[in-house]
Amino acid sequence: MSLSALCLRCGLCCDGNLFSHVALRSDEVASARRHGLDVEALVGGAPALRQCCTALSQRRCTLYAERPEGCRAYGCRLFKELAAGRVSLEDALAVVDRAHALLSALNEGLPPDTDARPSPVMERARFADLSEDGLSPETRALRERTEVLLDEHFHGGPRRFAHAPGEPE
């Protein structure tokens, strides 16, 4: 129960702020497409699910019972810490809230998102940093603080990618 409470408040492993893609098995592709998920081929041809996932609705997976294996297998560091009883639910939720507050502040410092489909804040920050104008020192510092927090508490686990091969690091 507390694990689902954590994830329902979070959604970061599905909204594109942690990962650009989730690996799919080849036998999951047809079903993913049938459900309207955004399936892409990575460099090398392996199928993967583009994030932000179209099945995510207000931090809830609308395909939970039928989600791909890569989604089932994933648990972030914070999730594992809570599952092992090494952090309380209250403290874990506070970390999630801090991550969302940082992402929201970072979003304020970025150029407006003009894509029809909203792009993840961390992805936009990465590309804005590589652009000619770059990021202001304050926004770059915020981006770095956010990355540190995401690395410390959320990254890790199998079958997901921080970037599709060939995308900028």
Judged by CB under 6 A, the stretch of 75-83, 102-110, 115-123, 136-144 that binds ligand SF4 is: 75-83
Judged by CB under 6 A, the stretch of 61-69, 109-117, 124-132, 138-146 that binds ligand SF4 is: 61-69
Under the binding rule (CB under 6 A), the answer on residue 110 touching ligand SF4 is no
If we measure between CA atoms, which residue out of 116, 115, 94, 97 comes closest to residue 105? Answer: 97
Under the binding rule (CB under 6 A), the answer on residue 55 touching ligand SF4 is yes
Under the binding rule (CB under 6 A), the answer on residue 7 touching ligand SF4 is yes
Q: Which is nearer to ligand SF4, 14 or 106 (CB)?
A: 14
CA distances from 49 to 13, 21, 122, 139 (A): 12, 5, 18, 29
Query: Of residues 47, 79, 124, 161, which one binds ligand SF4 by CB under 6 A?
Result: 79
The tokens describing 147, both together, are 């990355």
Please count the CA atoms within 13 angstroms of the CA of 55 that sit on its side-chain side: 23
Q: According to CB under 6 A, which residues from 134 to 163 bind ligand SF4?
A: 154
Cα–Cα distance, 41 to 38 (Å, whole number)? 10
